[in-house]
Structure 1
Amino acid sequence: MHTADAQDEVAPDGRLSVQKEIDREMADETCAGEALDVVLDPQKEQKLLVKLDMAFVPIIMLTYLSCFLDRSNIGNVKVAHMPEDINASDSQFSIAVSIFYVTYVLFEAPWAVLMKKLTPRNILTGLCIVWSLTTIFTGFIESVGSLYATRLILGACEAGLFPCLNLYLTMVYRREEQAKRVSYLMSCAAISGAVGGLLAYGLLHMDGIGGKAGWRWVYIIEGLFSAACAILIWFGLPNNPAEAYFLNEEERWMMRVRNEQRRKYMGSDKFSWEEMRIALRDPKLLFSGVIQFCQDILLYGFSTFLPTILQGMGYDSLMSNVLTVPVYIWSAIIFIAIAFCSDRYSKFASYIFTTNVFGIVGYILLLTVGNTAVQYFATFLIGITTYTAVGLNVAWLNVNIAPQYRRALEIGLQQTMGNCAGIVAGQVYRQAPYVLGNGFSLGSLAVAQVAVTGFGFYLRRENKMKDQILNGEKEDTRRVQTGDGSVDFKYIY
């Protein structure tokens, strides 16, 4: 054996020799340098993306679908006399809607930051198991206190799902590929409304079976569906997507090249308190958080109380659930179509601003017109912005933050700020015909329009400043010059 080979042997203490560590680091740097110059075959890369989408997207969508079903079905069961069965007053029921978001907003950022340490598969599977059991147990509650307890547990567990799934997408796709995939994720919120309405319609017909009210079967059956999703997560989402079992050797090499080419976007694997401090002081977080809060007022008010809004128009409990289905399907189709355009043209501000205009018109119609047909049409206009603006705003922040720990905290905090809207929505949507709630949502859209415009101009100004620095026209005196602060990292607006 050569001397060099001997140096590569495992040392007596069980660790690799120092020389081997040095050689490995040099090899990694060389590979990284070579990867930056590699141009992947577009057709092969497209085939790889299709393969990744087919393997990961259905699991991610089903999981988020189940999450949103378990969260929002409280709106479906309200019209089926659930509050009366547990002796809950209108104000107590509103508290039950809002209390979910107390633990939800507290746990979002911690779960996002912990995902790297706990690994995606462990954290996502564990959370899914706990919230599915909680949903099932909700079908057996007998008091308001029990409802509060299940909503708090549900909020704590579901808090980690969206930020962790969103971060998982950044491990698989490039910046310019993410808006479309986030749209798949967020469209499940709309699809869950349609599925929830149909499920509620069918399951409420089980009223009396096994001596249980129909609303109890809604919780039990939907909780079992979530438990099945936990199995899919464990076996279907590998901790390292680049080494997924369904990829061949060439595809794994392509994944490694793609990872190296977006290393600046992903950043170091090592935790850094400095990155946390930079994230907390980032103006982009403030802009995005304000937008998310305003848009989430619509998301939680509209998606939770749409069956009751329709009931207030004169429909019975079963029909008010059925009539939500076309609205949610329309919302999902519009969202996916706009997200495709956003990915293709790398635009966010203009799309969010435009879709919000439809929502503003919709709420004005709900508040000023008494005709039932016109009011139902207004719900379709509101559906255009309800899910689209929320999803695009998440993707907008996602593609403009680097490296990964900075991104993890900002995404978590953005969701925390946004989901505080769930607490507010439960309080302003108290009694049909929800004049206060709809008026509050209209005002939130107006504020969102101002924030979207300001965020777009801010990113445009930052790009212009980076260009001036690159061209030597201006000295770089910025506080943050790493990650997305690098002069060659261009913001998308």
Structure 2
Amino acid sequence: MAQIEQQPVDEKVIGTAYGQPTTDDGLKETGSVSVMPQIDPAKEKILLAKLDLMFNPIIMLVYLSCFLDRSNIGNVKVAGMPEDIGASDQQFSTAVSIFYATYVTFETPFAILLKKLTPRLLLASLCVVWSLTTIFSGFIQNVGGLYASRLVLGACEAGLFPSLTLYLTMVYKRDEQAKRVAYLFSCTALAGAFGGLLAYALLQMDGVAGYAGWRWVYIIEGIFSAVIAVAVWFGLPTNPAEAWFLTPEQKGFMRIRQEQAAQYMGSDEFSWEEVRIAFKDPKVYLSATIQFCQDILLYGFSTFLPAILKGAGYNTLESNYLTVPVYIFGGLAFVIAAIISDRLRLRSPFVLFANLFGIAGYIVLLTVSTDGVRYFATFLCAVAVYNGPGLNVTWLNVNVAPHYRRATSIGFQQTIANTAGIVAGQIYRKSPYKLGHSFSLGALCLAQVVIVGKMFYIKQWNTKKDRIARGEIEDTRKVKTGDRELDFRYHL
């Protein structure tokens, strides 16, 4: 058992609320004699580095494989898959959209079931099924087979993102999460970059064993995902505080961190009341609206970027490998923004700023015909494509408590937001994609308005809590637990 030194909480204050100190998780000390176990900062840094080293690569790899299997339909489109199976442009767009019919249906149930089924069992099982589905997609012969594979993929991958983000909340504190969500979301960019490179290489296998190159894209990427499923099973413990790679002292530190975050995490017991509260929370609906707008960009951009580049005048191979620097740039921009966001405990200003790049990028795509300038515009778009959804998810994650209220909120936010995938498949139909770019630009502008509205709503709640705590106004709150407690500070 770790030797834990008892110290007053105010020896580790990092901010104030109502004139009283708050812990490093943003929670206010309510009594002058309260004590909280403390961790040596140097040893906590070592602990965090070990957690990052052991958990994040697995989490990133499984999301990378998921997004590869989901978005490779954009790579195979430019390689002749629609022609080989007799799919029209409309039927292909339907295949892109139909994925989200099952995806949005299963997101909230899987998020709620995460603790019950355990992350290891739930995530590994889903990964196995979507891996097999991707492999079998390499053998489809008609549009019906394409539709069926996309529906199965949607059902399986629905549980992944909400479950992974919730798992991060089981490991990291509120002011440590944006950086880790950035790692997770950077895999979306890596999937685009790696997917472009991999598709470029696999398309060279055209004719091997009598199969078209696009079929090998599905088969090889599906096998890769199956290997990742094994890593998920052995690498994600049900209780991160008891992970096999932690020393006894570090396990003690993890228990201290869990105690410090007790208000944020809440009980392990399922509660329908928490589900009901989540569905009545305006923050969730504001966040879902923002995420829907941002996901219009994410799914349209990540799925159709090769086709957008091909429509801009590049050939099939160029339209795949030229996506690589765009995705890498977008991912790096997000990681940098997320690190600063955690340090400042600010979320919304970074989303607002990133979206300005996206607005500029889509305006260029709509108004300029020069290939080089349009290619540059995709870099501007990439900043908004990854920062917007990733930081908005973090913004909701850190502002909802306890666990089952947060699980429901994240699941519902993703359910609403991912209907954007259905829209993306319909607006990006034919080159030069004027409809898709115009719709994405409009979605960004709407997102900016809703972000500002949510900022005012959250600031109003923090001010209201301050005034109630000082006795200036009557306490009329119907919900007084979790994130609605007076000592829970919302992040702007």
TM-score range, shorter chain: over 0.9
**2:421 alignment partner in structure 1:** 422
Structure 1 position 36, deviation (Å): 5.4
Task: Indicate yes or no: 2:208 matched with 1:189.
Answer: no
Structure 1 position 273, deviation (Å): 1.1
Distance 2:411 2:65 in 1: 20
Distance 1:104 1:439 in 2: 25
Deviations 1:94-147 (A, max 9, x none): 000000000000000000001111111000000000000000000000010000
Structure 1 position 208, deviation (Å): 0.2
Structure 1 position 303, deviation (Å): 0.6
Distance 1:315 1:373 in 2: 10
**2:400 alignment partner in structure 1:** 401
Deviations 1:162-195 (A, max 9, x none): 0001111011010110110000001100110000
Q: Determine helix, strand or coil for the equivalent of 1:230.
A: helix
Q: Which amino acid aligns with 2:247?
A: N
Task: Indicate yes or no: 2:41 matched with 1:42.
Answer: yes
Aligned ranges 1:363-402 → 2 under 5 Å:
363-402=362-401
**1:133 alignment partner in structure 2:** 132
Structure 1 position 37, deviation (Å): 1.3
Taking only aligned residues, the RMSD between alpha carbons, in angstroms, comes to 0.9
Distance 1:330 1:231 in 2: 30
Q: Which amino acid aligns with 1:49?
A: L
Distance 2:179 2:375 in 1: 29
Q: Which amino acid aligns with 1:424?
A: V
Q: Determine helix, strand or coil for the equivalent of 2:224.
A: helix
Task: Indicate yes or no: 2:62 matched with 1:81.
Answer: no
Structure 1 position 38, deviation (Å): 1.3
Q: Determine helix, strand or coil for the equivalent of 1:359.
A: helix
The percent of aligned pairs where both chains have the same amino acid is 64
Q: Determine helix, strand or coil for the equivalent of 2:418.
A: helix
Distance 1:313 1:125 in 2: 40
Deviations 1:275-323 (A, max 9, x none): 1110000000011000000000000001100000000111111110011
Distance 2:480 2:437 in 1: 43
Distance 2:385 2:34 in 1: 41
Distance 2:256 2:234 in 1: 25
Aligned ranges 1:324-335 → 2 under 5 Å:
324-335=323-334
1:135 and 1:220 in contact (8 A); partners too: yes
Distance 1:96 1:457 in 2: 40
Aligned ranges 1:65-464 → 2 under 5 Å:
65-464=64-463
Structure 1 position 270, deviation (Å): 1.1
Deviations 1:365-403 (A, max 9, x none): 000111111111100000011011100000000000000
Q: Which amino acid aligns with 1:350?
A: P
Structure 1 position 35, deviation (Å): 10
Deviations 1:27-66 (A, max 9, x none): xxxxxxx995112100000000000000000000010000
Q: Which amino acid aligns with 1:400?
A: N
Distance 1:400 1:107 in 2: 23
Residue range with higher mean Cα deviation, 388-397 or 472-481: 472-481
Aligned ranges 1:461-476 → 2 under 5 Å:
461-476=460-475
2:38 and 2:256 in contact (8 A); partners too: no
Q: Which amino acid aligns with 1:239?
A: T
Deviations 1:309-344 (A, max 9, x none): 000111111110011001001011101000001011
1:67 and 1:226 in contact (8 A); partners too: yes
1:359 and 1:381 in contact (8 A); partners too: yes
**1:17 alignment partner in structure 2:** none
1:36 and 1:261 in contact (8 A); partners too: no
Distance 2:148 2:38 in 1: 54
Distance 2:34 2:82 in 1: 60
Unaligned runs of 5+ in 1: 1-33
2:60 and 2:183 in contact (8 A); partners too: yes
Q: Which amino acid aligns with 2:478?
A: R
Q: Which amino acid aligns with 2:307?
A: T
Distance 1:132 1:463 in 2: 45
Distance 1:170 1:36 in 2: 24
Number of residue pairs the alignment of both structures matches: 460
Taking a change above 3 Å as real, the CA distance of residues 63 and 36 of structure 1, as seen in their structure-2 partners, is farther
**1:28 alignment partner in structure 2:** none
Distance 2:275 2:36 in 1: 32
2:300 and 2:425 in contact (8 A); partners too: yes
Q: Determine helix, strand or coil for the equivalent of 1:387.
A: helix
2:178 and 2:394 in contact (8 A); partners too: yes
Distance 1:138 1:168 in 2: 30
The two structures have a TM-score, normalised by structure 1, of 0.93
Distance 1:95 1:378 in 2: 27
Taking a change above 3 Å as real, the CA distance of residues 36 and 304 of structure 1, as seen in their structure-2 partners, is farther
Deviations 1:203-247 (A, max 9, x none): 000000010000000000000010011000011000010000011
Distance 1:189 1:36 in 2: 42
The two structures have a TM-score, normalised by structure 2, of 0.93
1:35 and 1:261 in contact (8 A); partners too: no
Structure 1 position 472, deviation (Å): 1.0
Q: Determine helix, strand or coil for the equivalent of 1:37.
A: strand
Q: Which amino acid aligns with 1:253?
A: G
1:101 and 1:420 in contact (8 A); partners too: yes
1:36 and 1:260 in contact (8 A); partners too: no
Divergent runs of 4+, >4 A: none
1:353 and 1:452 in contact (8 A); partners too: yes
Q: Which amino acid aligns with 2:291?
A: Q
Unaligned runs of 5+ in 2: 1-32
Distance 1:173 1:465 in 2: 28
**1:3 alignment partner in structure 2:** none
